[in-house]
Amino acid sequence: MLPKRFLILLFLTIAISVQAQINEQELDKLIQETLTTFDVPGISVGVFKDGKVVYAKGHGVRSLTNKKDMNGETLVGVASNSKGFTCFALAMMVDEGKLNWDDPVRKYIPEFQLHDPWVTEHFTVRDLVTHRSGMGLGAGDLMFFPEGNDFSVKDVINNVKYLEPETSFRSKFAYNNNMFIIAGEVLKRVSGLSWEDFIETKIMKPVGMKNSKASYNRVTDKSNIIDAHTRAEGEVIQIPHDWSETANAAGGIVSNVPDMLAWAKFLMNDAVTESGERLLDKDLFHELWQLQTPLSVRPGDWYNSNFRGYGLGWFLTDVKGGHKQVYHTGGLLGTVTQFTMIPDLDLAIVVLTNQMNGNAFNAITNTIKDSYLGYENRNWLKTYGERNAKYLKYNDSIKAEVFKQVEKIKSSVTLPKPEQIVGTYTDDWFGDITIAHDGKSYSIACKRSARLFGELLPYNATTYVAKWNDRSYDADVFVQFTFNEKGEVVAASMKYIAPITDFSFDFHDLELKKTN
């Protein structure tokens, strides 16, 4: 029998833990305040604990146009939370003996080629899904982002050889979507099924994800699906859904709170379905949640973490006292999502939103997580709210200064003549960008990404600003021209103006040469 003192301490510990856990009314209030603080039209949240769903609700509206309520069943594009599915699918192929994580990619895609021949030969399937290619953050994402481009998976495979590395191979983490697109092609060639068919039939169906689809275009009933929203020119507006089907293996899945909680339950049940079917060998499943690419933990980390890194399709860290956290986020234009599991607590948290502000899901997830970890209320809403306001003000000030300079310089006699600038500029992987002049003003257009067009405005004697017509992109860039000794433009480079620009607008990776 345990000593009386120990029993009292144990009782108090349990009581404090139970009292600390956020209740339904408190969570309702938090989410409502989050909607207001971050100007998000709609948020749905799910919490799974100790074998059961303890919260699954939507708040706000799914669309500013139709004003229909966001509810727990509302479908949302989960974006990069799809990457865990891609890696699980590949692991199933390993389980069947059709694939090995450390096989060279060229074993399955002989035409695969990177910038460095040695790296090409040694680049493995594992390298595709661990963000350690040596290429920079988001390298090549303009091949699928934003929607409206004409790049295919075949184009992505063909064009990655033009993307120059920023670091040596396997030396540094740099998030890369195109490698996951190629991983999806590996799955297709090995399994004989499209990535979409495999995910839906081999994973979603047995797991019990009844309303989820592997891509937006596969959603036939759109009666309860969000519209996307973003902040443009200081105001939150509705925008069209934006995701290229080419990149489904990197971020195409559409789901909702009940289905994502079913996915969490399945994963935390060691990859065994409710019917008792094991979809993946225990050791292979365990490997998915092992560190592959390390990331640093900042001093004074909020959760006293000792490690952080990327596994096979998942971010991994430890929180408060060594609890392993498995998590991912996802972002599309107009949508951000977060999926968090702490398996040894049998805890999962899902936050799906219809506005691209990650501070909102962080405030909610951290508050819920803290309540189960035993932290006192740290007021994440206030912390992230203040951070968000400061960040938006900072970015707006940068853009204001740039366009102030544009107004100041536009009548300068030192500006280049139109005949020096107009013409076609070509990048090896992105294709042609054309600059035209109608006698009054310049325009800029990307041939293979039709939605990227706008004004070209002077900034100084060698630099202009590309102001895209679609203001929801928030991705205006400097265009820096290179002149030869005759005063002729021979090349151009691009650089985003404000740090708020999504990293997938990787204009800085373009090496534009003037071709006419």
Query: How sure is the predictor about 10, in pLDDT bands with cuts at 50, 70 and 90?
Result: very low
Integer Cα distance of 81 and 77 in angstroms: 9
Per-residue b or e along 261-296, where b marks 16 or more CB atoms closer than 10 Å to that residue's CB: bbbbbbbbeebbbeeeeebbeeebbebbbeebbeee
Of 392, 425, 457, the one marking the end of a domain is 392
Residues in the chain: 516
Quote the DSSP letter at residue 18.
Answer: H
Give the tens place of pLDDT for each residue, 472-494.
999 999 999 999 999 999 999 99
> Is the CB of residue 308 less than 8 Å from the CB of residue 296?
yes
Specify if 482 maps to a domain.
yes
pLDDT mean across residues, the chain: 95
Q: Are residues 383 and 450 in the same domain?
A: no
Give the tens place of pLDDT for each residue, 343-399.
999 999 999 999 999 999 999 999 999 999 999 999 999 999 999 999 999 999 999
Q: According to the model, what pLDDT value does residue 137 have?
A: 97
Query: What average pLDDT does range 201-221 have in this prediction?
Result: 97
> Is the CB of residue 313 less than 8 Å from the CB of residue 187?
no
Specify if 353 maps to a domain.
yes
Q: Are residues 131 and 276 in the same domain?
A: yes
Give the tens place of pLDDT for each residue, 339-356.
999 999 999 999 999 999
Q: Are residues 435 and 362 in the same domain?
A: no
Q: Are residues 311 and 419 in the same domain?
A: no
Query: How sure is the predictor about 506, in pLDDT bands with cuts at 50, 70 and 90?
Result: very high
Query: What average pLDDT does range 399-418 have in this prediction?
Result: 92
User: CATH number for the domain including 240?
Assistant: 3.40.710.10
Q: Are residues 446 and 304 in the same domain?
A: no
Give the tens place of pLDDT for each residue, 51-110.
999 999 999 999 999 999 999 999 999 999 999 999 999 999 999 999 999 999 999 999
**Total of domains in the chain:** 2
**Predicted TM-score (pTM) of this structure:** 0.94
Query: How sure is the predictor about 20, in pLDDT bands with cuts at 50, 70 and 90?
Result: low
- CA distance between the termini of the chain: 88
Whose tokens are 């995910």? That residue is: 199
- For 286, residues 6+ apart whose C-beta sits below 8 A from its C-beta are none
pLDDT at 404 over 50: yes
pLDDT at 5 over 70: no
Give the tens place of pLDDT for each residue, 129-169.
999 999 999 999 999 999 999 999 999 999 999 999 999 99
Could you tell me the residue range of the domain that residue 462 belongs to? 410-514
Integer Cα distance of 118 and 479 in angstroms: 34
Q: Are residues 420 and 283 in the same domain?
A: no
Q: Are residues 360 and 461 in the same domain?
A: no
Q: According to the model, what pLDDT value does residue 411 have?
A: 82
pLDDT at 448 over 60: yes
> Is the CB of residue 330 less than 8 Å from the CB of residue 80?
yes
Give the tens place of pLDDT for each residue, 303-326.
999 999 999 999 999 999 899 999
